Amino acid sequence: MNIQPLLIIAAAILVATFCAPGPVLADRIVIAHRGASGYLPEHSLAAKAAAHAMGADYIEQDLVMTRDDRIVVLHDLHLDRVTDVAAVFPARRRPDGRYYVIDFDLAELKQLRLTEGVKRVEDRETAIYPRRFPPWLSTFRISTLEEEIELIQGMNHSTGKTVGIYPEIKAPWFHRHAGKDISPAVLTILKRYGYTRRDDRIYLQCFDPRALRRLRTELLPAMGMDLKLVQLIAETRWGLTLVMEDGQAVPYDYDWMKRPAAMAEIARYADGVGPWMNMLVNPDSLPGQPQISDLAAAAQAAGLAVHPYTFRLDSGRIPPYAADFEDLLSIFFFQVGVDGVFTDFPDRAVRFLQSHPQRR
């Protein structure tokens, strides 16, 4: 039998596959939110190692600056929720009752125990997520950005994987108010560890559009760097980003980001957006009938990747319109069409995508 016709048919199929009209979907990605934080204390190196082993594509770092200008991986500007700071440094409490990362040197922070998140009502302390890793069990420590990058790059070397990093600069306005410029300090570390180009395995995220514009137009070019930037989108009422107006600190108004022309504007300085999941699907949607907003489609039409937050399978965290965690992922990946998800349970999202390879 002459195999030439078969080869021609095979070649034709290949050509048709690669030249088919329509958008080519990039790989969907799983971002381990604060590490595999559904299983181990958020931002512990253990949670990061677990996320790497679970097959996450990117691992997230929230970044805050210390008094001695080091960059540590912590979600909050305060230490209260995830450390024993009140027991170790009781006198360092501010008048508002909180302990601030920025009031401590790295050597002091290294003395603290890091724990799964706790909340205190009067003198009673309880786990925020009762089904997760128990508070105060075992021993975990706060890490610097350098320590965490070395863990991920070391595991990339030992496993042959290319897991990326997804750092978030927390509250540049707060650091600036304390006399610190966190953005260039973060870039210096990223550059030292080889993250300098748009196609490197990194997304740099921030809630503050002013900080992102400054990164794109000033700081990155000045350092000979060009990284992918992600505009996180908050609800104005959360008060995550503050601006000074008439001498008063007021919440930055995010409402413009929900208007039709906003995505084209964001695409001038960013490569992706990180919206709250409820901005993409109405949380009051009926079961099986997700009401999908225009935001994801508008972002993608402007060339932006869409990485919503945060997918959790704890009790009460799956919206009523989804039957379960996998159904929720299915709605977001295949009906909304997102490019990636932030999740505390990266193993479940990785397994979900692996079980739908033809759509990944």
- Number of CB atoms found within 10 A of residue 245's CB: 10
* Whether residue 307 lies in the annotated active site: no
Angle at 355 between CA 353 and CA 360, to 5 degrees: 40
For the CB of residue 240, give the shortest distance to Ca ion in the complex, in Å. Answer: 10
**Pairing outcome for strands 305-306 and 272-275:** parallel
Total number of residues that touch Ca ion (CB under 5 A): 2
Q: Which is nearer to Ca ion, 168 or 347 (CB)?
A: 168
Q: Which is nearer to Ca ion, 62 or 103 (CB)?
A: 62
**Pairing outcome for strands 29-32 and 124-127:** unpaired
Is 168 an interacting residue with respect to Ca ion (CB under 5 A)?
yes
| Residue 157 to residue 162: CA distance in whole angstroms | 8
Contact, 266 vs 302, CB < 8 A? yes
Q: Which is nearer to Ca ion, 148 or 168 (CB)?
A: 168
Q: What are the helix (H) ranges across the chain?
A: 4-19, 45-53, 85-88, 106-109, 145-159, 172-177, 182-192, 209-214, 220-222, 262-266, 277-280, 295-301, 325-330, 346-354
| Residue 341 to residue 33: CA distance in whole angstroms | 9
For the CB of residue 355, give the shortest distance to Ca ion in the complex, in Å. Answer: 27
| Residue 199 to residue 188: CA distance in whole angstroms | 18
Q: Which of 75, 78, 175, 307 is the catalytic position?
A: 75
Q: Which is nearer to Ca ion, 163 or 204 (CB)?
A: 204
Shortest-Cβ-distance residue relative to Ca ion: 168
For the CB of residue 259, give the shortest distance to Ca ion in the complex, in Å. Answer: 24
Q: Which is nearer to Ca ion, 62 or 76 (CB)?
A: 62
Cis status of the peptide bond prior to 139, with omega within 30 of 0: no
* Whether residue 75 lies in the annotated active site: yes
For the CB of residue 46, give the shortest distance to Ca ion in the complex, in Å. Answer: 18
Subset of residues 33 to 62 that bind Ca ion, contact rule: CB under 5 A = 62
Is 80 an interacting residue with respect to Ca ion (CB under 5 A)?
no
Is 148 an interacting residue with respect to Ca ion (CB under 5 A)?
no
Residue linked to tokens 């709605």: 331
For the CB of residue 274, give the shortest distance to Ca ion in the complex, in Å. Answer: 8
Please report how many Cα atoms fall inside a 13 Å half-sphere around the Cα of residue 107, on the Cβ side.
1
For the CB of residue 31, give the shortest distance to Ca ion in the complex, in Å. Answer: 9
Task: Give the 3-state secondary structure percentages of the chain, helix then strand then coil, rounded to 5.
Answer: 35, 20, 45
What x-and-dash track marks residues 59-78 binding Ca ion by CB under 5 A? ---x----------------
Give kind and range of the element (H or E) at residue 237: none
Q: Which is nearer to Ca ion, 60 or 116 (CB)?
A: 60
| Residue 94 to residue 344: CA distance in whole angstroms | 31
| Residues known to be catalytic | 33, 75
By CB under 5 A, name the binding residues for Ca ion.
62, 168
